[in-house]
Amino acid sequence: MQLTRLNRGVQPALAAATASLLANCGAHAEDEAENAFVDSGLLFYQESDRVRAIEPNLNFNYDFGGGELLSLGFVADSVTGATPLGAVAAPVKQTFIRPISVKSNSSTQTVTSASGGATVVTIPPPPGSPAATIVAASTTVGANRLPLDQGFNDTRYAGTLGWVEPITPDLKLSLGGAYSSEQDYRSLSGNLGLAQDFNAHNTTVSLGVNYENDRSSPIGGTPTPFASMSGSWKNGNRSKDEINALVGLTQVMSRRWLTSFNYSYAWSNGYQTDPYKLVSVVDGTTGLPGDYLYENRPDKRRKQSVFWENRIHLPSDVVDVSMRYYWDDWSLRSFTIEGRYRFVFDGYYAEPLVRWYRQEAASFFRYYLVQSQALPQYASADTRLGNFDATTAGVKFGLQLDKSSELNLRVAYYLQQGDNHPAGAVGQLKNQNLFPDLDAVSVVVGYSFAF
């Protein structure tokens, strides 16, 4: 039973409190109490010709007895490769410039070296300015090629802390916090949750609130929305606050069937634009790019979702099906359905999984802007805000090494397909693939044990 309680994560402290309430009334399957539980995982993620990420994760949980549970987590995330700039392809060479680092000493503008397919250029601050020298990457993209930011490279470190405290045998309080830091972004959050058990531990109602404060400090400064692309100094840091409330209902339907329903509401206010993304401004007849503007998104966003999950224990196998409908006031909508089926064998399991995702674009998503037309209030060519379908297919294998330790391996393939030839494209853009497929392979190796 101790082991069952310890098989909880740090990240969703509210889920931990909910699940531990349900588990408290479980069978006393384990006779030896183990107070500490370690969960580790290593993610390898590789997109075709784009981003590569390596992400080690470690969680440590300690049960102090009486339902008090401490959780600590650590993540390091190293990302390299190429990511789309937002600009459209053209039948001519295109040159883009992006700040990549800052130097404290000033120097004259010179071409110094080449890096990751880009030419590195140093740009001194204006005379009399206290600012430091900026180092920018100038990339030339060949004709009919999707403009990619070739020098993308970042490392993120994040930590989480959680505590679950029983108030009564049926009511648990959870507290948590998270800190994440990368070269140009910092996120700080705290959460508070309550989980109340009813109906002889068959029903749990949970309430949770999370507050997050993010600070964006783009290298070279934050561009002015809709300003033309440049490698020069820009504005200062920007921040964003987000409050997220979550209401959940978890119900044991029978000995074999568990169902859970969540409603989530999030309100964010502040800088939500991607400071590195561009929008091409093209000629209304030829479709050739004449300018590149920094994108501009609204600074407020209200997000809502409903999520429903069912887990059913068949005579030996286990099936899990979950669905989510998401909507927000950027007019972005999505529907997700995910299924897993675990074939259970003696001491090991195999678990195929499938996920399907459909997204309807945000109202301000544009593949490009047209020179002769007035600027809209907001615009982004980031295809993550566009119309697309995404499918994930994979399989996980798990090996029970002993009563409290498990080794597992999961391999999954992700494919994202959008509207690559949208109706109404102008001039040469009719011949360009405006939404190339994105595909990626991920491999996760996990090892967990209790002691």
Partner 1 sequence: MKHNSANCSTRRASCRCERRAGAALGAAILLALGGCSSIGAKPWERDLMAQKVMQLDAYPLESAMDQHIYFSKEGSSGGRTYAGGGCGCN
**Closest to partner 1 by CB, 266 or 395:** 266
- Sheet of 118-123: strand order equals 94-103, 133-141, 118-123, 110-115
Map tokens 């360009």 to a residue. 432
List the one residue from 251, 269, 286, 433 that touches partner 1 (CB under 8 A): 251
List the one residue from 244, 269, 286, 391 that touches partner 1 (CB under 8 A): 244
Q: Which helix (H) or strand (E) holds 305?
A: strand 300-313
Interacting residues with partner 1 between 270 and 289 (CB under 8 A):
274
List the one residue from 86, 212, 289, 369 that touches partner 1 (CB under 8 A): 212
CA 234 vs CA 142, 167, 224, 228, 356: distances in Å: 28, 51, 7, 11, 40
Q: Is 296 in the site for partner 1 (CB under 8 A)?
A: no
Q: Is 237 in the site for partner 1 (CB under 8 A)?
A: no
Q: Is 373 in the site for partner 1 (CB under 8 A)?
A: no
DSSP 8-state symbol, 428: G
List the one residue from 90, 229, 246, 279 that touches partner 1 (CB under 8 A): 246
Q: How many CA atoms lie within 13 A of 292 on its CB side?
A: 19
Q: Is 359 in the site for partner 1 (CB under 8 A)?
A: yes
**Closest to partner 1 by CB, 226 or 341:** 341
List the one residue from 249, 321, 354, 407 that touches partner 1 (CB under 8 A): 249
Structure tokens at 216: 């964006």
Are 212 and 221 in contact by the 8 Å Cβ rule? The answer is: no
Q: Which residues of 102-137 are buried (b: 16+ CB within 10 A; e: fewer)?
A: eeeeeeeeeeeeeebebbbbbbbeeeeeeeebbbbb
Q: Which stretch binds partner 1 (CB under 8 A): 92-100, 114-122, 141-149, 334-342?
A: 334-342
Interacting residues with partner 1 between 299 and 328 (CB under 8 A):
303-309, 311, 313, 318, 322, 324, 326-328
Among residues 39, 28, 41, 21, which one has the least CA distance to residue 2?
Answer: 28
**Alpha carbon distance 158, 302 (integer Å):** 26
Least Å from the CB of residue 210 to partner 1: 4
Q: Is 62 in the site for partner 1 (CB under 8 A)?
A: no
Site string (132-151) toward partner 1, x via CB under 8 A: --------------------
CA 408 vs CA 136, 159, 348: distances in Å: 43, 23, 9
Least Å from the CB of residue 354 to partner 1: 13
List the one residue from 2, 11, 222, 428 that touches partner 1 (CB under 8 A): 11
Q: Which stretch binds partner 1 (CB under 8 A): 74-82, 89-97, 122-130, 366-374?
A: 74-82
Q: Is 374 in the site for partner 1 (CB under 8 A)?
A: no
The partner residues of 240 in beta bridges, in order of sequence, read: 214, 270
* Cβ atoms < 10 Å from Cβ of 235: 12
Are 280 and 87 in contact by the 8 Å Cβ rule? The answer is: yes
**Closest to partner 1 by CB, 163 or 185:** 185
Least Å from the CB of residue 92 to partner 1: 29
CB neighbour list of residue 424: distance below 8 Å, 6 or more residues apart: none
CA 260 to chain CA mean position, Å: 23
Q: Is 85 in the site for partner 1 (CB under 8 A)?
A: no
Structure tokens at 281: 């401004």
Least Å from the CB of residue 36 to partner 1: 16
Structure tokens at 80: 């390299």
Q: Is 253 in the site for partner 1 (CB under 8 A)?
A: yes
List the one residue from 384, 411, 441, 449 that touches partner 1 (CB under 8 A): 384
**Closest to partner 1 by CB, 68 or 154:** 154
Map tokens 């859970």 to a residue. 260
Q: Which stretch binds partner 1 (CB under 8 A): 88-96, 124-132, 424-432, 436-444?
A: 436-444
CA 173 to chain CA mean position, Å: 27
List the one residue from 139, 222, 428, 442 that touches partner 1 (CB under 8 A): 442
Q: Which stretch binds partner 1 (CB under 8 A): 85-93, 129-137, 287-295, 330-338?
A: 330-338
DSSP 8-state symbol, 10: S
List the one residue from 31, 66, 105, 255 that touches partner 1 (CB under 8 A): 255
Say how many residues touch partner 1, by CB under 8 A: 108
Q: Is 43 in the site for partner 1 (CB under 8 A)?
A: yes
Among residues 245, 227, 223, which one has the least CA distance to residue 236?
Answer: 223
Q: Is 2 in the site for partner 1 (CB under 8 A)?
A: no
Least Å from the CB of residue 230 to partner 1: 21
CA 249 vs CA 26, 208, 229, 260, 308: distances in Å: 19, 12, 48, 6, 10
Site string (169-208) toward partner 1, x via CB under 8 A: ---------x-x-x-xx-x-x-x-------xxxxx----x
CA 57 to chain CA mean position, Å: 15
